[in-house]
Amino acid sequence: MKATLTFSLDYLAQVVRDCQRCPLHRSRTNLVFGEGNPEADLMFIGEAPGETEDQTGRPFVGKAGQLLTQILAAVGIQREEVYITNVVKCRPPGNRVPTKTEMDACWDWLAAQIALINPFLIVTLGNTPTQKLLGTTEGITQLRGRFFSWKGNIEVFPMFHPSYLLRNPSKKKGSPKYLTWLDIKAVKERLSLLRSRNRKS
Ligand code: SF4
């Protein structure tokens, strides 16, 4: 079972590798497909690769990625347990927000990743993946910290993007960092509950 899933994600990565569906392929150094456990119960979706990710071909390895790893570790979640990717797989020039056309062009790849991994819970990081998955224009400040049912059998939980936390370092009660601490604890608790309800074979 595991070998088949691994192969399928690996195969998808090969298919996506030379993608030229949108203009972002012209400026990329490396396509950043995603990485992690192909059978993860918990998946993280960010906006787009940044400079370090573009250079390395790996998601969330810059400063924001290091903070994400620390946030996970704070509740005992190892990065290797989860799967991490972005809405678009190629870096937008100057780290701008990807356009709707770019996100729509890349959607099939993300949808296929989600279908293959079939997690219990998806954490969307920041406005872009949250609004894309939930089909809303509401902002992350309103949506974070709430569980949403998505396509019947998966839950979506929006959190602040770690790069936003880097720009807002206060840990005071009510600050984005403080709220993120509450959010990741909620993720951990919800994941335990979902696992106990739906033991994967
Ligand atoms: Fe293809 Fe997505 Fe890269 Fe655009 S961002 S070229 S759709 S992989």
Q: In this predicted model, what pLDDT tens digit does every residue of 122-146 receive, in sequence order?
A: 999 999 999 999 999 999 999 999 9
d(CA 89, ligand 1 centre) in Å: 6
d(CA 50, ligand 1 centre) in Å: 14
Closest ligand 1 atom to Cα of 88: 5
Give, for 180, the enclosing helix (H) or strand (E): helix 176-197
pLDDT tens per residue across span 75-87: 999 999 999 999 9
Strand-pairing partners, residue 122, are 43, 156
Determine the 3-state secondary structure of 62 from DSSP: coil
- Nearest-CA residue for atom 3 of ligand 1: 90
Q: Which residues contact 182 (CB under 8 A, 6 or more apart)?
A: 145
Q: What is the pLDDT of residue 192?
A: 96
pLDDT tens per residue across span 97-111: 999 999 999 999 999
- Nearest-CA residue for atom 4 of ligand 1: 22
d(CA 70, ligand 1 centre) in Å: 29
Which domains are delineated in the chain?
2-194 (3.40.470.10)
- Please give the torsion angle defined by the CA atoms of residues 79, 80, 82 and 87, in that order, rounded to the nearest 10 degrees: 80
What is the pTM for the complete model shown?
0.94
| Best CA proximity match to 150, nearest among 126, 132, 133, 136 | 133
Quick one: average pLDDT of 87-97? 97
| Best CA proximity match to 180, nearest among 156, 150, 160 | 160
- Residue count (the chain): 201
As for ligand 1, residues whose beta carbon falls within 6 Å of it are: 16, 19-22, 24-25, 31, 88-90, 102, 105-106, 109
Quick one: average pLDDT of 18-29? 97
- Nearest-CA residue for atom 7 of ligand 1: 106
Q: What is the pLDDT of residue 198?
A: 81
Taking the C-alpha atoms of residue 168 and residue 162, their distance in angstroms, rounded to an integer, is: 10
| Best CA proximity match to 37, nearest among 82, 101, 86, 99 | 82
Q: Which residues contact 186 (CB under 8 A, 6 or more apart)?
A: 145, 157
From 24, 45, 47, mutation site for ligand 1 pocket: most ligand atoms within 8 A of C-beta = 24
From 85, 89, 109, mutation site for ligand 1 pocket: most ligand atoms within 8 A of C-beta = 89
